[in-house]
Copies of this chain bind each other. A is one copy, B any other.
Amino acid sequence: MPRLPFPELVRELHRILLKHGLPEPRAALVARLFAENQRDGVVSHGLNRFPGFIALLQSGRIDPGAEPERVGGLGALEQWDGRMGVGLWNAHVAMDRAVALAQTHGLGCVGLRNTNHWMRAGAYGLQAAEAGCIGICWTNTIPLMPPWGSAEVGVGNNPLVIAVPRRDGPLLLDMAMSQFANGKLEVLKRQGRELPLAGGFDRTGNLSRDPGEILASRRPLPIGYWKGSALAVVLDAAAALVSGGQASHQIAAQGTEYAVSQVFMALNVTALAGADGVEATVDAIIDHLHTVTPLVAGEAVRYPGEGMLRTRRESLELGVPLEERQWADLRAM
C-alpha cells in the first residue's frame, strides 16, 4: 500500500472540497478531519467515506454554508441548531463551545440538533482532550439494530465517546452499541472470513460468527446483549432531550439518516489537577494495565486508544497508507 505524507493528503482533500463548493473555514477543517481519520487507521471514516461525502455535498441534502447557532440553554448547558449543515463542522463548533464553557464553568454541555453525520465520533473527544478536558459525546442514528427482545431493527447504534486528556496521547473510547459495524461485517463477508466472536444472530435466531448470516438477519448483537440495547435507548433519549432534536424513531420516519441529535460535554479536569496532575493519574493507570499478564506472551494489554496512537505515529513517520486506487481517484476529483 502506498503512503502519502500527511500534509500532502490534507492539501489534496482541501483542494477537492473547495472545488466542490465547501466554503472556508469548513473546507480546511473537513480536509484535516478526513486526513486525520485515515492517519489514525480509522479507514471506515477516512478515504473510504470521502467520495460519499463529496456526493452528499452535491446532492443538495445538506447546506454546505450553514452555520450552527445557539437557540437556547441555561448557564453551561446550551442548545444549538445545526441547520442541516455539514456534520463534521457542526460537531467541531459544538465541542469547541463545550470546551469554552468548561473554561469558565468547569464543565460545559452542548446539545446539537438538525445536524448530520459527523464521520469519526472519536474526533470530537480528541478535540476536547487536546484542550485538557475529558470529552464525552454521542450521537443518535437511524435505527440499525433490534432492541433486546426483538428481531426487528428499532434502535440506533448511537456511538459513544469518552476521551481522557494525556500529553503523550489520550485515552480514547469510541464505540458503537452494536458489537461490529455493518461495514466490518461486509468486509469480512467479501473475504469469506468469520468474526472472532459472536457478532449477531443468524436467520434461525442463534448467535453467529458468520458475517453474511448476520447481515441477512439484520440482527447485529448489541454489546453486552440487553445492556448495550438499553444504553442505546437512554443515549437516544438524552440526545433528543438535551438538543431538543429528533429521536431515532423520528429519523427512521424520514427513511434516510439526516437531522440527527448529538451531545458534546467537556469536563475541565486540567483546572482541577493541573496538566501534570492529570498526566500522573492517567500514566499510573496505563502503567498498571501494562503490568497485567497478557494472554499472549509479548502482547501487552493495551489502553483504549493505544493501537490508534501507534498507527498515528507510523503514519506521521512513514506517510499515511492509502490504496493505489484511492490516490488515483483523489487526483481525478
When each residue 74-109 of chain A gets 1 if its CB lies under 8 Å from chain B and 0 otherwise, what string results?
Answer: 111111000000000000000000000010111101
| B-contacting 9-mer, from A4-12, A278-286, A318-326 | A278-286
Q: Does A193 touch B at the CB level, under 8 Å?
A: no
Additional 17 contacts, C-beta under 8 A, given A73-B106, A77-B268, A241-B278: A134-B242, A147-B289, A149-B300, A149-B301, A149-B302, A150-B294, A151-B293, A171-B233, A173-B230, A175-B224, A205-B295, A223-B227, A236-B285, A241-B269, A241-B273, A244-B272, A248-B285
Contacts of A167 in B (CB 8 A): none
A→B interface (CB under 8 Å):
72-79, 102, 104-107, 109, 111, 134, 146-152, 154-155, 162-164, 171-173, 175, 179, 197-198, 205, 207, 223-225, 227-228, 230-231, 233-238, 240-242, 244, 247-250, 267-269, 271-273, 278, 281-282, 284-285, 288-289, 292-296, 299-304
Q: At the interface, is chain A mostly helix, strand, loop or mixed?
A: mixed
Are A292 and B225 CB-contacts (below 8 A) given A171-B237, A241-B282?
A: no
CB distance from A134 to the nearest CB of B (A): 5
Chain B residues near A150: list those with CB within 8 A.
Answer: 292-295, 301
Task: Please state if B134 and A238 are interface contacts (CB–CB under 8 Å).
Answer: yes
Enumerate chain B residues within 8 angstroms of A230, measured Cβ to Cβ: 173, 175, 304
When C-beta atoms are compared, the residue in chain B nearest to A299 turns out to be B149
Cα–Cα, bound, A269→B243 (Å): 9
* Residue among B107, B179, B285 making CB contact with A233, cutoff 8 Å: B285
Give the distance in Å from the alpha carbon of A322 to the alpha carbon of B282 in the complex.
Answer: 44
Docked-complex contact A179 and B224, CB < 8 angstroms = yes
Contact for A285 among B134, B197, B247, CB less than 8 A: B247
Asked if A272 meets B77 with Cβ closer than 8 Å, knowing A238-B134, A292-B146, the reply is yes
A to B CB contacts below 8 Å, 6 in the list: A74-B272, A77-B268, A234-B304, A236-B285, A238-B269, A240-B285
Closest B residue to A104 using CB positions: B75
